[in-house]
Amino acid sequence: MNNKFYDIEVLNQDGSVQNLHEYEGKVLLVVNTATGCGFTPQYEALEAMYKEFKDRGFEILDFPCNQFAEQAKESDQEINQFCKMKYDTTFKRFKKVEVNGDNKCEIFKYLENSQEYKGKGLKMAMLNKFSKATGNEIRWNFTKFLVDSLGNVVDRFEPVKDMKDVKKAVEKLLK
């Protein structure tokens, strides 16, 4: 496979560099998260989905982010500890990142260039009041991007999207 998505390098929690080639051939859900957000309980649905589908070639890549109302102030280690203790998460969590602005990490540049913003409805309109994002930029924590087994970014789910719909989209790619 020769998809540019896999050439992206990200930072593990210990600061070491990881190339995404490790995930070639897998269906991925890439999500920016926060521990103090109203959407934080989505960790429960994410972990349930991960446990159900991980043996079928599914991975969740979790990137904590403190850019939205400072809802992930903790250190990487504290965030990881919180997620494991509160939600028993077992999927991969990377070093805290910025998803917007001058220090935007490469993976989120790629993702938002691959899938346009899909926020509609009253809930997203309310979130947009608190976000300075424009265009296809990430508007809030728990924005999710679905990547197929060939490295194509095939869908984007804003934080208000029902997790049942996210699960259906993942399952469809795993068939």
Per-residue pLDDT of the chain (175 residues; tens, 9 = 90+): 457 999 999 999 999 999 999 999 999 999 999 999 999 999 999 999 999 999 999 999 999 999 998 999 999 999 999 999 999 999 999 999 999 999 999 999 999 999 876 777 666 666 666 667 666 788 889 999 999 999 999 999 999 999 999 999 999 999 8
Domains with residue ranges and CATH for the chain: 4-169 (3.40.30.10)
Q: How many CB atoms lie within 10 A of CB 55?
A: 7
Dist. CA 121–CA 58, nearest whole Å: 30
| Structural element, H or E, at residue 46 | helix 42-53
Instruction: Please say whether the beta carbons of 15 and 116 come within 8 A.
Output: no
113 burial (CB, 10 Å; 0-12 / 13-18 / 19+) is exposed
* Residues classed as catalytic: 37
Per-residue confidence (pLDDT) for residue 112, from 0 to 100: 92
